[in-house]
Amino acid sequence: MFSTNDSEILGEFSVTTVINTPPWYENCYVIRHRPTGRQLVIDPGGEADRIAAVVGADGGTASEILLTHGHPDHLGGVYDLQAKFDVPCRAHQEERPIIGSVASWAGALMRQRIPAPRRLEYFTGEPALVYDGFDVGVLFTPGHTPGGVCYVFDGFVFTGDTLFNRGVGRTDLPGGHGPTLTASIARLLESLTPSARLYSGHGPAWTVAEARTWWSQAAAYDFA
Ligand SMILES: [Zn+2]
Ligand SMILES: [Zn+2]
């Protein structure tokens, strides 16, 4: 089952959502900075050909691949995408053990081989990623995994599996920790403007204002 690719214009950017197929229907995002044509790919979980077709429309090329975290359903397409676009893939240093075990995970969970990225560069802390014409902020949001991050653009944010539209990431996988995730989500929502759009790793987008309302009720739950 394929879904068509949804595209939205947000200021200087367009955001195209490529929803991958079963079992997880994870969201991959292609972000295009319209003034420069520079494109970033976030969490290419699989189906590299479909993602490459979005990136390559109008003769475009990718500049970089960013990972919110290292689960197989978010990086399974990196190897093939890097064969088409020889660009670095970035992730947080604390995610190294998760990414390092991806091949064995994928074998056990998905019965398929997922090759590790060809080029992988780790960052530490919460750097500003500086590109030609714009910056991307990093918020370190561990809890779903030890090195999970959110990528903060001007007016929109990619939250990976830290926060979904009315849901949070699971914390029962290796390196997951409920209280840490709760603290990360609280800090994330406090630090963003209410109108900012939130794009998550699975499911539909929503806004910080909607998320705050939901969270103020859901935070009473114990996610540990
Ligand atoms: Zn995950
Ligand atoms: Zn996921």
What would be the CATH architecture of the domain defined by 6-218? 4-Layer Sandwich (3.60)
Flag residues of the chain having pLDDT under 50: 1-2, 224
Straight-line distance from the first to the last Cα atom of the chain, in angstroms, rounded to the nearest whole number: 34
pTM of the predicted model, to two decimals? 0.94
pLDDT of residue 191: 97
Question: How far, in Å, from the CA of 161 to the mean position of ligand 2?
Answer: 5
Question: How far, in Å, from the CA of 69 to the mean position of ligand 1?
Answer: 7
CB atoms within 10 A of CB 183: 14
pLDDT of residue 224: 47
Question: How far, in Å, from the CA of 58 to the mean position of ligand 1?
Answer: 32
pLDDT of residue 202: 96
Residue 190 backbone dihedrals phi, psi, to 5 degrees:
-70, -35
Question: How far, in Å, from the CA of 25 to the mean position of ligand 2?
Answer: 8
Domain map (residue ranges) of the chain: 6-218
Q: Angle between the 178-191 and 208-218 helix axes, to the nearest 10 degrees?
A: 140
pLDDT of residue 219: 65
99 alpha carbon, closest ligand:
1
Give whole-number Cα distances, 127 to 17, 38, 45, 89, 96, in Å.
25, 19, 24, 15, 17
71 alpha carbon, closest ligand:
1
Give every CB contact of residue 221 below 8 A, 6+ residues apart in sequence: none
pLDDT of residue 24: 81
69 alpha carbon, closest ligand:
1
Rama region for 146: left / alpha / beta (φ>0; ψ in -120 to 50; rest): alpha
Question: How far, in Å, from the CA of 49 to the mean position of ligand 1?
Answer: 22
Question: How far, in Å, from the CA of 68 to the mean position of ligand 2?
Answer: 10
Question: How far, in Å, from the CA of 78 to the mean position of ligand 2?
Answer: 15
Which residues lie at CB < 5 A from ion ligand 1?
71, 161
Give every CB contact of residue 68 below 8 A, 6+ residues apart in sequence: 42, 43, 74, 148, 149, 150, 151, 158, 159, 160, 161, 162, 201
Buried/exposed 63-99: b ≥16 CB within 10 Å, e otherwise = bbbbbbbbbbbbbbbbbbbbeebebebbbbebbeebb
pLDDT of residue 109: 60
200 alpha carbon, closest ligand:
2
pLDDT of residue 223: 54
SS3 217: helix
pLDDT of residue 113: 73
